[in-house]
Amino acid sequence: MANSNFDANGPPVNTYEPPMDRRKEMPRWGLQYTFSGALRPALQSATRTVPSHIKKPYYAGHPDGASACENEEKKGNDIKEYKYGSSEFEDLKYACQMGREVLDAGGKACRVGVTTDEIDRVVHEAGE
């Protein structure tokens, strides 16, 4: 294992210390915690705003993100049927294509050393 030594009496002992410029991003409690590897917590970045030209679902303003129509649908066993060629079908098809593109962009951004904040930025910008 890189950055650790094995203690004869237990798990690996951490020998990794993050550079000082990265420590500034770490929560205070993280500076006093003994980590077993190189992964460290960081402060949460600011919430990203969705541009005004992007239509938001009605439940976007709900504190829990709860969708009233989805909760109603869960109560019954009705399955929504989309007719091929209908406007609803085309809208659903477009939403699925956009979702796939955004997922692909996020997947391409995933590499060793890339922060989740950076992946979030890539995904957010891909959806614009």
Per residue in 25-44, pLDDT tens?
566 676 677 777 777 676 66
Range of the domain at 7: 1-43
**19: DSSP letter:** -
- Is 97 contained in some domain? no
Residue 97: which pLDDT band, with cuts at 50, 70 and 90? very high
> Does 47 have pLDDT greater than 80?
no
**Which H or E run contains 29?**
helix 28-31
Structural domain count of the chain? 1
pTM of the model: 0.50
Per the domain annotation, does 124 fall within a domain? Answer: no
110 or 82, higher pLDDT: 110
Domain presence at residue 7: yes
Residue 50 identity (one-letter amino acid): V
pLDDT given for residue 74 in this prediction: 72
Query: Looking at the domain assignment, is residue 63 inside a domain?
Result: no
5 occurs within a structural domain: yes
| 6 domain residue, yes or no | yes
pLDDT at 96: 92
Structure letter (DSSP) for residue 110: -
Task: Confirm whether 98 is domain-assigned.
Answer: no
Q: What is the pLDDT of residue 23?
A: 53
| Whole-number average pLDDT of the chain | 75
